[in-house]
Amino acid sequence: MPLTTLPLNRVYLAYTLSEPAFGDTRETIFYVKMADGKRSVVRQSAVTGLAQSVTTEPMPAGGIGYGGAIFAVREDTLAYAAKDGKLYGIDLTAGDQWPVTPAYEGVAAPAISPCGKFVAFLAEQDGRCNVLLADVRRGGDDTRGGDTGVRPLPIKLSNDPWYAFNPAFSPDGTRLAWQEWNEMDMPWDEARLIVARFPKPTSDCASAIELLPLTTTTIARPRVGYASPQFSPDGRHLAFTSDETGWRSLWVADADGQNAARVDTGEGEIGGPDWVPGLISMRWSGDGKSIYAVRRLHSRDGLLRVAWPEKTVTEIETQWTDMDTLNVSGDELIFIASTPTTPLALVTLDAKTGRGVERATSAVGLIDSDSLSEPEVISWRTASEAQAWGILYRAVGPEAEKSPRPLIVHIHGGPTSEAPLTWAPQAQYFATRGWRYLFVNYRGGTGFGRAYQDLLSGQWGVVDIQDARTGAEHLISAGLADPQRVVVTGTSAGGYTTLMALTQAPDFWAAGMSFFGIGNMYEVRIGSHRFEVNYEQGLIGRLPEAGPLWKERSPLTHVKNVRAPVLLFHGTDDKAVPHQQSVEFAEAVKRIGGIAELVSYEGEGHGFLKEANRRDMFEKMEKFLDKYVLCLQK
């Protein structure tokens, strides 16, 4: 059977699935679905497969940082964060909906107490992100029967941290734990856990105010990132992740955070950088006799069962290479999974038998997996004989054996992030059209230990560029890439590296494609989202002393060096990297007589959600590459 190219409509029409969770039993599952820019919380029967959206308006939207952690379910109540900055409750039996909280700048990460009376959540307001607690049924503007007109406001549990993430109740309702960090840090640089004890269990309280005052314990060490607190079902232990040994690892302490000890799960990392709330990679089983965890090693995920308290580790064999956002009911697991040749799917898995079932898929239309590229994890020597990593998609199809092939070098965003072995439709789209495609997991990314991650400190705009170029040179020297047809591309932080690479090695790259990338480093700090407003100070240097270095590390400073054509995409409503960044870079390239094409999408943010825009993006990319790279038109 002849190999076929991946159809464009299989790429731009795909859904996004996230935040899988069980309902009151494992027979009901919930998740967030995004289609053509519209988001909803879906309830689906694991028995019949019937799926229905339980949210209408206002649209669900995580309002902390860059989104995520939209909803929580307990018995017949669902609480969700909405676009208008309020938390809403929905009666899953009667269908009633009511506001739980007043409006804030943003809310997210609801966690309903075991008794069902209260909900802890994150609220961003006036330059701080706090953990608040509200009465589920009596807060907000609820005026249903029995309301006396007195609507208690949420109470504040945290002490004005810069940010807080992932509040979690103990099963007995006596404690709440969360993660928080300071203004000049990112959570993967240094973050602490707060374990708060209530004066009495939530079940014994008629209103939230009775849960004050708190007694708190802090788990913290300098330059250590603590994350993902999870209480055991019996309430006696607290599991979390910490990178104090040099790798993100599983730790278990007493419920109050004392006597913490690391659980040896082998080489690799448990969890990743907390870019959004809700990214949990380990959970207790229902009986507390196991901890299930996702471990990443060399860009590939594995599923582990840790027997408790024996601490013996067993790997559960699965077909998936990428597993995200783990949740548990008993010994039934639920997560979002994919492989490089299988689109993202919502999966339930019986941990005792190893049997997994795909319950929902992000794919629209059928995909011939046999026609796709099977990528491989590679490494190479970069500057100073250091090691860099990447994932190579070889060309497939009629032209695949003709070497060397044109090459696209993709720089992941973050930059504190990673390109995993996952469904990457853009890579498959070009691989099935005769391109080789390399994702670069450059020094400073995650998944390879804290020492590797810290290599970007003060070196952003240096080592990432070096690793991109040496990765391409590695393939050129092996006869796998055409040195005249090498393209650099990336999104967000990867877009910055793309633009910087074009200015620092102007004769090496045939072209560049930047997606909402940074052109002027200082200006992006002024206009960027509060979540990462100080991020670059760790990646480049502290202001004001490092002011000259910030200018030196800005692509716009060196735009006169650009020789290769550049294609830029940007949403006009981008809150992370303002649209003006791409406008200014494109205009500067044109002023020196260079080729710069800017595509702006009205109303889009940091990433493109609308199907029409995603289709247009691929069509413009292909036209640009055909003209300036394949045909070498200058």
Domain with 555, as residue range(s), is 369-630
Total domains in the fold of the chain:
1
Distance, in Å, from the CA atom of 257 to the CA atom of 31, rounded to the nearest integer, reads 31
Q: Given this model, what pLDDT does residue 460 score? A: 97
Cβ-based neighbour number of residue 102 at 10 Å: 17
User: Does residue 611 register a pLDDT over 70?
Assistant: yes
80 touches 41 (CB < 8 A): yes
Provide mean pLDDT across the span 491-497.
97
Residue 244, domain member (yes or no): no
Provide mean pLDDT across the span 305-332.
96
The set of residues, in sequence order, having a beta carbon less than 8 Å from that of 303 and lying 6+ positions away, is 292, 293, 294, 295, 315, 316, 318, 323, 333, 349
Angle at 198 between CA 192 and CA 200, to 5 degrees: 160
At residue 141 the predicted structure's pLDDT band, cuts being 50, 70 and 90, is low
At residue 429 the predicted structure's pLDDT band, cuts being 50, 70 and 90, is very high
Provide mean pLDDT across the span 222-232.
97
Residue 418, domain member (yes or no): yes
* Domain CATH number, residue 571: 3.40.50.1820
Residue 462, domain member (yes or no): yes
User: Does residue 161 register a pLDDT over 60?
Assistant: yes
The total number of residues shown for the chain amounts to: 634
Q: Higher-confidence residue: 529 or 568?
A: 568
492 touches 577 (CB < 8 A): yes
Q: Could you tell me what percent of the chain has a pLDDT over 90?
A: 91
Helical axes 493-504 vs 463-477, angle rounded to 10°: 70
Q: Given this model, what pLDDT does residue 3 score? A: 73
Q: Given this model, what pLDDT does residue 2 score? A: 67
pLDDT in tens, 364-390: 998 999 999 999 999 999 999 999 999
Q: Could you tell me what percent of the chain has a pLDDT over 70?
A: 97
At residue 634 the predicted structure's pLDDT band, cuts being 50, 70 and 90, is confident
Q: Given this model, what pLDDT does residue 522 score? A: 87
Q: Given this model, what pLDDT does residue 145 score? A: 37
User: Does residue 147 register a pLDDT over 80?
Assistant: no
Provide mean pLDDT across the span 105-116.
97
Q: Given this model, what pLDDT does residue 131 score? A: 98
User: Does residue 357 register a pLDDT over 90?
Assistant: yes
Q: Is the pTM of this model over 0.85?
A: yes
Residue 131, domain member (yes or no): no
Angle at 290 between CA 289 and CA 295, to 5 degrees: 170
Provide mean pLDDT across the span 617-634.
93
Distance, in Å, from the CA atom of 146 to the CA atom of 537, rounded to the nearest integer, reads 53
φ and ψ at residue 47, rounded to 5 degrees: -90, -55
Whole-angstrom CA distances from 210 to 94, 98, 148 are 29, 23, 19
Distance, in Å, from the CA atom of 388 to the CA atom of 479, rounded to the nearest integer, reads 19
Residue 292, domain member (yes or no): no
Provide mean pLDDT across the span 315-331.
96
pLDDT in tens, 116-125: 999 999 999 9
Q: Which of 103-112, 232-241, 520-529 has the lowest mean pLDDT?
A: 520-529
Distance, in Å, from the CA atom of 196 to the CA atom of 306, rounded to the nearest integer, reads 26
pLDDT in tens, 78-106: 999 999 999 999 999 999 999 999 999 99
At residue 529 the predicted structure's pLDDT band, cuts being 50, 70 and 90, is confident
User: Does residue 143 register a pLDDT over 50?
Assistant: no
Element housing 451 (H / E): helix 450-453
302 touches 311 (CB < 8 A): no
Residue 298, domain member (yes or no): no
At residue 137 the predicted structure's pLDDT band, cuts being 50, 70 and 90, is confident
Whole-angstrom CA distances from 452 to 181, 355, 466, 503 are 22, 36, 15, 26
Q: Given this model, what pLDDT does residue 526 score? A: 78
Residue 190, domain member (yes or no): no
Q: Given this model, what pLDDT does residue 150 score? A: 57
Residue 219, domain member (yes or no): no
Provide mean pLDDT across the span 9-15.
90
pLDDT in tens, 325-340: 999 999 999 999 999 9
Q: Given this model, what pLDDT does residue 142 score? A: 46
Task: Work out the mean pLDDT of the chain and round it to a whole number.
Answer: 94
At residue 528 the predicted structure's pLDDT band, cuts being 50, 70 and 90, is confident
Provide mean pLDDT across the span 552-558.
97
Provide mean pLDDT across the span 24-41.
94
φ and ψ at residue 377, rounded to 5 degrees: -80, 125
